[in-house]
Amino acid sequence: MDLIADILLVAGALGAGLYCHVLARRLSRFNDLETGVGGAVAVLSAQVDDLTRTLRDAQNAAGGETRSLG
């Protein structure tokens, strides 16, 4: 009976180790800056920075025009 319990314990440990290995590989692909979601987040972050800069420039230009009209 102890032998069966030991075999099941080893099988469970090997299964957990395999699961962790697969999960680690998936996570590294998920965070890859070239092709994964990490790359998409980096691109979106750069786009937000560009849009923020453009909006600030437009607000400054509109403020200048308002002062020149007033």
- Cα–Cα distance, 51 to 43 (Å, whole number): 12
pLDDT at 38: 79
- Cα–Cα distance, 62 to 54 (Å, whole number): 12
- Cα–Cα distance, 28 to 37 (Å, whole number): 10
- Cα–Cα distance, 22 to 15 (Å, whole number): 11
What are the residue ranges spanned by the domains of the chain? 1-30, 33-70
Q: pLDDT > 90: what percent of the chain?
A: 60
Which residue reads 């998920």 in tokens? 30
- Mean pLDDT along residues 22-51: 87
Asked if residue 49 has pLDDT above 90, the reply is yes
Mean pLDDT of the chain: 90
Q: What global pTM score does this model have?
A: 0.53
Task: Read off the DSSP letter of residue 31.
Answer: T
Tokens of 64: 């200048």
